[in-house]
Structure 1
């Protein structure tokens, strides 16, 4: 993993120097994330249990003497974008420049929050897999915010930075995501998951047992939130909250879910049932993980996956098959489930380090994506959140 980080740093620094003819003065990072349990609960004011991972977006930066922002994207053939801070920042419609909207949206959110920004030159590179449900977009947004914070010494803490990154995605990019992705990218703790209360934004670090590996298997079924039914699921949850006359489904427990369901159509009820039960599973999972009860953690992950499959209907057959393969290897010593928004992407597994090799072999032997590809497997470690990095 150290080699990957070193190559990524070399790449972003080379892109910066090639584009601008000078070296940057700052280098910052923001990690991707994997959610261990608690899916689609974040925008319902509920609980989530993600950890930041050691795959990152890096931004090299240098201040300018004017109000122009220039950006070069190392991951997209060094394509460039530029805009001015004292002119309206417009959303780009060119699909090939979609990456630039996350940059523009984050800058717009910083300005709208009243922060005084100066122009700068930026280069961006990342190794967070895109379209996999590991929050490459949140890592990009948070990294851009961190770059301005580091360059200018902005008085904005990690939680506020995450909130502004969420606003960028909601209001500028147009994806109605919750706060989890940005918050874990900004506030991750090395060696820990974070139990996040998405209403209060309180976060409790939960230590992962030292002998447990975090395995992420990419199904090679590419997903895109804008084109998926993510926003539809959010609308269905909001409809259920209106039925129960609460601000969010966080405020409904299982007793009330059943007692007051009269008049709620079956589809919307099942969506609500997933959220209500997933919130409780997430709290129970944090408690199990904290004491190293991996059998209990595995059972909760299995129940979460079944709920996403049957009630929320966001898994696909390839994802279900990945979970089955991994669970066969793990047994009662951990668990596996879909992670992310759904409709493809990745599975996350918690398993003893001693079974990683067997899990990888089983995936190689038993899994093929609809297009015939093997799963891509990442072995991750819980990482620290966004911040500056030293560089030569």
Structure 2
């Protein structure tokens, strides 16, 4: 029991407990920081944080899953920690909370979770949102889910140094059980679409080790911003494929392909929400397939093992469900909307063929959509 572990670790009982899910994005990749549209679901893997207040200004943390490492710092002197990199997500959260004018006390924190790390399932956003929820409850901050998401994004952008968009934190905060979220990343207004109970969210972790992800991510963001400037728009959200082709001569070849992905992916995401609402899984399949090909050819963020997995699962699902790479890229996971009666066939095919083809063993998670930390 976590409550007993907290008492054993800190010698007293916790007074606040938060749970923030990870997330998987069904479609809409690298569109969020371009003010576009995404379609994620919160999943039943989560970060949990137990907390109790201190009488001083010290944040005292124990990370159960990182060999129970202890990390502490003063709220009056928050510095980047090069020794324990995981602690910087917490340091960033407390730093932006104070910069935003919230009054904090010291606290003891016990942190644990089962969101796979490095797989593109937003373990970092889950951690940030769980911390924001427990701090809000413990210190009476009355944060909304949208406020928490914006603060979490700011912590990751400004303190950790990864130029992520808003999607991860927002779905971790405001996901809904049994539903996926169509999110307009400009207005931050979510719309929810039920996922048929006859379908499962199947996530397959390629276990390709992801290297240089943050630098590649930041490069892609810079390329998109360069394309938007060349097109004379505030963000690629505001451009069309017709405009892109007309002004192609103003862009480098790389900027053109990056912009082509983002603009077409926004269109696909909106079409996907409509197709899912009407239960048109033939269209769902086609849109997820096109999304993957765009990530492979125009955005260049897939790797051979990921492409192999997508093709393998697509061969089983056909037009009855969809499959694509999900997450930042360069490894990580694929996601499938899979009819329940085909889940076992997908598992068997991956077990039979993936290791023989790549030398790697995939992990398979059959997930449900869950509530975010600030839901309700």
TM-score normalised by length of structure 2: 0.97
Alignment of 1:130-209 (within 5 A): 130-209=117-196
For 1:1-392, what aligned pairs fall within 5 Å after superposition? 10=1, 12-85=2-75, 87-94=76-83, 97-223=84-210, 226-368=213-355, 372-387=359-374
Q: What is the rounded CA distance, in whole Å, between the counterparts of 1:154 and 1:128 in structure 2?
A: 26
Residue matched to 1:6? none
The alpha-carbon deviation at position 372 of structure 1 amounts to 2.3
Q: Aligned with 1:204: secondary structure?
A: strand
Matched residue of 1:132: which SS?
Answer: coil
User: Matches of 1:78 and 1:15 in 2, distance apart?
Assistant: 11
Q: Is the Cα–Cα contact under 8 Å of residues 56 and 126 in structure 1 kept in the other structure?
A: yes
Q: How far 1:371 sits from its partner (Å)?
A: 6.9
Q: Which stretches in structure 1 are left out of the alignment for 5+ residues? A: 1-9
**Structure 2 counterpart SS, 1:55:** strand
Deviation at 1:227, TM superposition (A): 4.7
Deviation at 1:225, TM superposition (A): 6.0
Aligned to 1:57, what secondary structure does the other structure show?
Answer: strand
Mapped partners of 2:274, 2:30: distance in 1: 20
Q: Deviations over 1:98-154 (max 9, x none)?
A: 110001101111111100111111000010000000000000000000010111221
Q: Distance in 2 between matches of 1:226 and 1:172?
A: 17
How far apart in 1 are the matches of 2:73 and 2:214?
A: 27
Distance in 2 between the 1:82 and 1:72 partners?
Answer: 9
Alpha-carbon distance between aligned partners in 2 of 1:65 and 1:26, rounded to the nearest angstrom: 16
Q: How many residues align?
A: 375
Unaligned stretches of 5+ in structure 2? none
Q: Measure how far apart 1:67 and its partner are.
A: 1.4
Name the SS of the counterpart of 2:17 in structure 1: strand
Residues 213, 328 of structure 2: 8 Å contact kept: no
> How far apart are residue 17 of structure 1 and its match?
2.5
Distance in 2, matches of 1:256 and 1:226, equals 30
Q: How much does 1:373 deviate?
A: 2.7
Once the two structures are superposed, residues 29-54 of structure 1 have per-residue CA deviations (whole angstroms, 9 ceiling, x without a partner) of 10000000000000000000000001
